[in-house]
Copies of this chain bind each other. A is one copy, B any other.
Amino acid sequence: MNTSACNSVSLFTESPLELDSGATLSPVNVGFETYGELNEGRSNAILICHALTGDQYVASNHPITGKPGWWERIIGPGKLVDTNKYFVICSNVLGSCLGTTGPKEINPATEKPWGIDFPVITIRDMVKVQAALLDHLGVDTLFALIGGSMGGMQVLEWLATFPERLHSTIALATAARHTAQNIALHEVGRQSVMADPNWNGGRYYEKEAKPDKGLSVARMTAHITYLSEDALTRKFGRNLQSRDAITFGFDADFQVESYLRYQGSTFVDRFDANSYLYITRAMDYLDIAGRHDGRLADAFKNAAHVRCCIISFSTDWLYPTAENKRIVHALNAAGVPVSFAEIESPHGHDAFLLEEPEMDQMIEGFISAAAKARGLSS
């Protein structure tokens, strides 16, 4: 499916985007995709928020890899999120590298790529850019806002920052803060990138060699955290890769080694190393309760009219059920109506991207009830 051309818009051209850091950005270009049509009442818009290394190609082929959209299983004509019925928007987050302003784009002040002169951003900064994109598209309120992992973090920041523009939200496999372990895992990824001499203090865009090795190792490490031990055992166990016996060497004897090396090597073709630094940093900085003296419920105090749905997965050890439940408790405490389920799945954190019938049922039921409440039922 590819119902829309690759879109891009320049925002914050007149008044700059004020970032949480105090820095400003102007303009901010945003790469985005849309699917379906906005109805006359402008009441059928759904914004999809992508994860750390995701992008706007949620339901259309990726321009670099040529692969189908990352959530085409869910989004499309007649699908769970039905683009015959809804106007679906997905934009590349601030700091990323597929058309939205980020470290690889040109710094207007120097006319060179930003590199690590790009200001450090937050999840809330990403959300402010999304809100400006909705203004541009003529969408005042979202029928639904949906995101998993870092996408879920954006959902939470929307609830805290622009609740008046929301009707319903679904956040999957996420957290309202990064824990010490989350920060630690991201820090080793960043150190891996920065240890690569081709990173060159972030100034590699004009050079021939990029920090591919460092970024590849960072991706390999991260990839392990997206799967459960159980998933790795089921998928690979100790199976050997195209050989009958171990070779007593350092080649990829085991399938799991070969798989990880492949994940690392293909990632560098589609992702910018500096974007990886900035986006992981934004996630580490996330601590929504921290802005409210530790009371997460206070962040959601103006969201009591929003229908919320939180979904966690039993073997997700990156953003485990306990972290998702913290969100549910805070929403409850703030009087926000919230449905919650922990889905039993062997697939770890990545479960939200995979076929999980229980998850599908939950999303379907939630959207159809929300549509009814919004007067959108067919």
Contact = CB atoms under 8 A, between A and B. Distances in A.
Interface range on chain A (Cβ under 8 Å from partner) = 35 or more
Contacts of A213: 195
B217 A195 contact: yes
Given A232-B180, A233-B179, A250 B238 contact: no
Given A177-B238, A179-B232, A237-B180, A191 B220 contact: yes
Contacts of A181: 224, 229, 232-233
Contacts of A180: 229, 232-233, 235-238, 254, 256
Given A195-B196, A238-B290, A188 B220 contact: yes
A187 interface: yes
B119 A188 contact: no
A126 to B, nearest CB: 15
A260 interface: yes
Interface stretch (A39-47, A87-95, A280-288): A280-288
Contact of A188 (B217, B233, B246, B317): B217
A346 to B, nearest CB: 13
A120 B21 contact: no
A238 to B, nearest CB: 6
Contacts of A236: 180
B178 A191 contact: no
Contact of A256 (B187, B250, B256): B187
A116 interface: yes
Interface string A266-282: 00000000000100010
B214 A195 contact: yes
Given A180-B238, A248-B119, A256-B180, A224 B185 contact: yes
A252 B194 CA distance: 13
Interface string A187-199: 1101110111100
A261 B120 contact: no
Contact of A257 (B120, B184, B232, B248): B184
Nearest to A277: B250
Interface string A323-335: 0000000000000
26 contacts: A21-B248, A120-B248, A120-B249, A177-B238, A179-B229, A179-B232, A179-B233, A179-B237, A179-B238, A180-B232, A180-B237, A183-B238, A183-B256, A184-B232, A184-B256, A184-B260, A187-B220, A187-B252, A188-B224, A191-B261, A195-B196, A197-B197, A238-B287, A238-B290, A246-B285, A254-B284
Given A184-B220, A221-B221, 12 more contacts: A22-B248, A120-B250, A179-B238, A181-B232, A183-B254, A185-B224, A187-B220, A190-B250, A195-B216, A197-B197, A229-B320, A317-B317
Nearest 9 Cβ contacts at the A-B interface: A195-B213, A21-B248, A180-B232, A120-B248, A180-B236, A181-B229, A180-B256, A187-B257, A188-B220
